[in-house]
Structure 1
Amino acid sequence: MKSNEKLQAMLIKNYVFFSMLVGIMAILLFVLFNFQLLKEMGESPDSKLKAQEIVRQDFQKIPSEGVELVQGWVEILDDHRQIVFVKGKKLDSITAYTEKDLNELFYDSKQNRYHASITPFETEEGRNYYCLVKIPKKNITSDLTFSNTYNGQYNVFWLLIIQTSLLFIILFSINVYLYSRWTSTKITNPLLQVARGIKDIADGHYRNRLNYKANYELQQIQASFNNLAERLEKAENEKKQLEESKQRMLVDLSHDLKTPITSIKGYVEALRNDLIKDEEKRKNVLNVIYTKTELVTGLIEDLFELTKLDSPDYPFAKELSDIAEFIRELAVEYYDAFEDKNFHFQFEIPSYEVKVPFNQILLYRSLSNILSNALAYNPEGTTVTLKLTEDDTKVHISIKDDGIGISNEIKEKVFDAFFRGDQSRKSDGGTGLGLTITKKIIEMHNGSIHLDSGNGYTHFQIALLK
């Protein structure tokens, strides 16, 4: 299926898709970076142990896991400092606090066994409470040291920057690879096929064709390449056929010359050695020699004529003439010959002028070959019809007989050089070049010749441009 999408549109579409993919990837990495940054720098290690960090209006939802992990607990005091709720395992028996008791929880003394933090809060009903966190001192330490928090956070920030950048580079590389592979299937792969196809053409392999799915421009290249390959293959086949035809013609020519010359040589040797005593037989032998000589001469003349017609330098000139008068003269010339062999010769020729550009000498040779064949190879009583008709652009010459006909097996070969219908290659036949010359002459007139034949009829149809 041919694609109508142009290469430029495809590249723009791919680039937009690639850019959107890179943008989405950058946004996702930015979100991931911020999430990790907040996770690493947003809270201190002891934030989940302080009352102000874990206090909730709903007592049951207070996240006390961190406190309980170090064997501490959480107490909720009302505005009279009475304990109304405890979360975690309480290690003392205190149920209420005075203001002094609360203050003593924050004294740095050995008698104080707990680290404490307290924060007030208000519920949705507007009631005031205190959240108190108590952790045994033996489970945690509290030393006064110079903090290096800033430097730590600085290092964490740049570490996340490096990690995110590496992840971006990896994902970007994967994206570029996938984009290049995608693009290569659309452009590179077809171009590789074109390169291989050109190499095949250079190596003389014309049968291979390109077959790929691509954009409009590459499809045009494929169509043009396949058309070129088809034309080269056709030219190569025609060249091979021409070589085979030339080879066959040389073999046939050698055979056709050798047979009569051998006969002539034998008769001449017999005469030279005085082997033929009877005067009558000597005359018969001389007649045979003359006939064979005429046959060789005709063969050479036909071959010379065909060679001249094949030459591009052959002077071929057409003159605008009355072809109806030309056909009438041809019919008159052959009328007596047909009558002598008891043929029925009929013709239909317009009484008015039919002007057509043609070469009278060559067209006479062409038509006379067909009429001579009809006269030579058909039995007595055969009807031969010569007809001339015309239309707006062409004249049509028809030569038809109801003789022995030509079989379908050899009909396509009658225009080949040295072909004879009987395939006997007898030396007393024609040269086998007559219809080859006929076809060549018609083609030189930019015309066409067609043979329709079967058992009992032969019909040559010639068309010439006006």
Structure 2
Amino acid sequence: MRLWRTRNQRPLQTSLALDFLRFLVIVLVISLGAYLFIQLDVTQKLKDYQLADPDLKVTASQYLNNPKSGPETEKLLRSRGWLEILDGSKLIKEVIGNKQDQMISYSEEQLYKLLENDRSQDYYYSLSRYPGPGSPDWLLLKIPRDRIDISINSYPFMSYFNHSVTFYILIGAMVLLVLVVVYSYSVARRILKPLKTINEGLKEMIQGNYSTRISVHAEQEFEQMAETFNYMADMIEKTTKATRLAEESKQRMMMDLSHDLKTPVTSIQGYAQALYEGRVEDVERQRKYLSYIHNKSSQVTKLIQNMMELLKTDSPDFLLKMGHHELGDFLREIIADSYGEIEQKRFTLQFQVPDQDIYALFDPELLSRVVYNLITNALTYNPPGTNLRIELIPQATRMVIEIADNGVGIPQELRSTLFDPFVRGDEARTASGGTGLGLAIALKNTERMGGTLELANPGKESTVFKISLQK
């Protein structure tokens, strides 16, 4: 049943209802125990004293109407009392009940003495004259003294106790109040314990300890709060870490950009100043200086363009032109455009594309930049005679383009950061190198298309790049 599930599977409302039900059961059990105790005590008292009724009448006048068979007479006889009818001379005419003494008549003085009902007497007495003009008879009531002390009390069992009924009512109220306080404390502690855990976790988060996680064993609502807290803490920790890494990457990028701009700009300034001050008179040398200035300015322009392209790929306003296109003809066009440079570098080309049409989901402009960049890197960093392989490999759910070479390869220490901005295949930053942004741009462009770009482990070929696209 859902009601009796474990605590951490129950709603708080159900748990509180069950707690209150347990409290009521405890109160009822205690009340029943007290009631049974009193009932047994009273029953024993009545049994010890053989009282037929605690409301026994103890005045003779109450028996005058029907002394022989009335209901009050029956109660009196069950209490071991009896009635005596006396004539005018105080002789006993008739006895109603079981007479336990030997008296057969009374004098006036004896009756006065007996009616004082002293505690030393064996019986309790009450005398009343029969009503009616000229009636000489009297009715004398006798009850054993050990019965009358209890019988005259409307609550016979109260004589056994030392305190009044009010006292015991107050005791019961105090016990009930203690139970209510204990119950309230138990419920409050049950609710406050998980809340305290959550509050301590929030304090840790405020202090910047985003690795804080909490665990509570309580009702569903508290379990859900703890799960929500842990999810929130996890998201904040990841966001904070990503923000910190992005800030560090931004600072590193600015430092690298400053370095890569400073070198060519300094060279441009030096050559321009030499020409401006007239220190170079040879025409051929002047032309050479102007060529240096042109090349360095082109390098700065290329660096700025690549930087703008990198920033553009991160912009949410960047529009993709995604569609299903045939990859074989697409790659053939790229190879045709690059073939002149491949021949000039004296590379050996292996181009492998299936005969059937192969379609994939991509943006032609972005993918062409990625492929061009990888081919250009292979041509730039490898010596003449290098074997360049470009292959299209269909898979079950994706299409893979491999661009590989058997050239100088990429140093092991650069493989983990190769796709970071301003990282080049050569270990030193030299003027002959690229901008160091090409692979970072290629990776971002591939990811924007829902694909992946990775550097595979070297095998027969020293460098293998894999572009994976959705079908």
What TM-score, normalized by structure 1, do the two folds share? 0.70
- More divergent stretch after superposition (273-282 vs 304-313): 273-282
Alpha-carbon distance, 1:364 to partner: 0.9
Q: Distance in 2 between matches of 1:409 and 1:267?
A: 36
Residue aligning to 1:252: 256
What's the secondary structure of 1:187's corresponding residue? helix
Q: Does 1:264 align with 2:264?
A: no
Alpha-carbon distance, 1:32 to partner: 4.9
Alignment deviations for residues 294-350 of structure 1 (CA, whole Å, 9 cap, x no partner)? 110100010111122221112321243222101112122333323332322212112
In structure 2, relative to structure 1, the CA distance for the partners of 1:408 and 1:33 (3 Å cut) is: farther
Alpha-carbon distance, 1:438 to partner: 0.4
Q: Does 1:18 align with 2:23?
A: yes
**Equivalent position to 2:33, from 8, 23, 28:** 28
What's the secondary structure of 1:462's corresponding residue? strand
Aligned alpha-carbon RMSD (Å)? 3.7
Alpha-carbon distance, 1:38 to partner: 8.6
Residue aligning to 1:68: none
Residue aligning to 1:346: 350
Alpha-carbon distance, 1:39 to partner: 10
**Equivalent position to 1:378, from 368, 382, 394:** 382
In structure 2, relative to structure 1, the CA distance for the partners of 1:374 and 1:152 (3 Å cut) is: same
Q: Does 1:276 align with 2:284?
A: no
In structure 2, relative to structure 1, the CA distance for the partners of 1:339 and 1:186 (3 Å cut) is: farther
Which structure 2 residue ranges, 5 or more long, are not aligned?
Answer: 1-5, 50-101, 104-109, 114-119, 124-144
Q: Distance in 2 between matches of 1:287 and 1:169?
A: 107
Q: Distance in 2 between matches of 1:38 and 1:2?
A: 45
Which structure 1 residue ranges, 5 or more long, are not aligned?
Answer: 45-98, 101-105, 109-114, 119-141
In structure 2, relative to structure 1, the CA distance for the partners of 1:420 and 1:163 (3 Å cut) is: farther
Residue aligning to 1:194: 198
Alignment deviations for residues 395-430 of structure 1 (CA, whole Å, 9 cap, x no partner)? 111112222323443222111112224453333321
Q: Distance in 1 between matches of 2:290 and 2:258?
A: 24
Residue aligning to 1:430: 434
Q: Distance in 1 between matches of 2:166 and 2:424?
A: 92
Residue aligning to 1:237: 241
Kept in 2: contact 1:190–1:212 (CA 8 A)? yes
Instruction: Report percent identity of matched pairs.
Output: 32
Residue aligning to 2:455: 451
Matched positions, count:
374
What letter matches 1:10 in structure 2? S
Once the two structures are superposed, the pairs formed by residues 4-403 of structure 1 within 5 Å of their partners are: 4-32=9-37, 159-198=163-202, 205-403=209-407
Q: Distance in 1 between matches of 2:166 and 2:349?
A: 107
What's the secondary structure of 1:25's corresponding residue? helix
In structure 2, relative to structure 1, the CA distance for the partners of 1:163 and 1:385 (3 Å cut) is: farther
In structure 2, relative to structure 1, the CA distance for the partners of 1:418 and 1:169 (3 Å cut) is: farther
Q: Distance in 1 between matches of 2:431 and 2:207?
A: 45
In structure 2, relative to structure 1, the CA distance for the partners of 1:404 and 1:194 (3 Å cut) is: same
Q: Does 1:460 align with 2:469?
A: no
- More divergent stretch after superposition (306-315 vs 179-188): 179-188
Q: Distance in 2 between matches of 1:162 and 1:38?
A: 21
Residue aligning to 1:82: none
Alpha-carbon distance, 1:205 to partner: 4.6
Alpha-carbon distance, 1:160 to partner: 4.3
Alignment deviations for residues 228-286 of structure 1 (CA, whole Å, 9 cap, x no partner)? 22122211211121122112211111111111101110111112112233333333322
Residue aligning to 1:61: none
What TM-score, normalized by structure 2, do the two folds share? 0.69
What's the secondary structure of 1:388's corresponding residue? strand
Alignment deviations for residues 362-416 of structure 1 (CA, whole Å, 9 cap, x no partner)? 2111111111111111233322211112234321111122223234432221111
What letter matches 1:255 in structure 2? H
Residue aligning to 1:410: 414
